[in-house]
């Protein structure tokens, strides 16, 4: 609790920059907060721990970037179908967890109605999501600062 309160109210603390703990993977080489498209040009990977290789490895293992082109970064359209699919999956799981019930006579009754309805909503959401079409839009970010 002390650490949280100290970090929250201490005005002397500065935000950590890119890769504050010298991590090995490429996501730590991006600025924070991360842009919605991550990389403006896709890096060409030559080693398993590419960020580490870029900092400490030999020159031949340093990454390069794809050539600059004019198509930009493709971003998907906003869609409600992933939410519908997730709600259907939630209903399916809820129905499978609580499908057993004991009726007043003391018998165990299995009722899969909620699970079937949730599964149907989930499948419907997946189908509609798949049939949505390519859509989307393109961003044309400036060249990243190295």
pLDDT tens string 45-80: 888 888 888 888 888 888 888 877 777 888 888 899
Enumerate the H helices of the chain as residue ranges. Answer: 2-9, 50-56, 81-97, 113-130
What is residue 130's predicted lDDT score, i.e. its pLDDT?
Answer: 93
Q: How far apart are CA 38 and CA 29, in angstroms?
A: 10
What is residue 145's predicted lDDT score, i.e. its pLDDT?
Answer: 46
Angle (nearest 5°) at CA 29 between 8 and 142? 105
pLDDT tens string 73-124: 888 888 999 999 999 999 999 999 988 877 778 777 788 999 999 999 999 9
**For residue 96, what is the DSSP state?**
H
What is the pTM assigned to this prediction?
A: 0.60
What is residue 126's predicted lDDT score, i.e. its pLDDT?
Answer: 97
Q: Is 88 exposed, middle or buried (0-12, 13-18, 19+ CB in 10 A)?
A: buried
């Amino acid at each position: 609790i002390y650490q949280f309160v100290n970090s929250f109210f201490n005005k002397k603390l500065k935000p950590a920059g890119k890769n504050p703990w010298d991590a090995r993977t490429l996501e730590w080489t991006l600025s924070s907060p991360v842009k919605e498209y991550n990389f403006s040009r896709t890096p060409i990977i030559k080693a398993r721990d590419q960020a580490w290789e870029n900092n400490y490895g030999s020159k031949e293992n340093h990454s390069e970037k794809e050539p600059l082109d004019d198509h930009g970064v493709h971003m998907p359209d906003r869609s409600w179908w992933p939410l519908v699919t997730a709600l259907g999956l939630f209903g399916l799981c809820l129905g499978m967890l609580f499908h057993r019930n004991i009726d007043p006579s003391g018998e165990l009754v299995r009722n899969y109605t909620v699970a079937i309805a949730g599964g149907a909503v989930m499948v419907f959401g997946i189908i509609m999501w798949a049939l949505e079409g390519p859509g989307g839009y393109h961003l044309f970010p400036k060249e990243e600062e190295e």
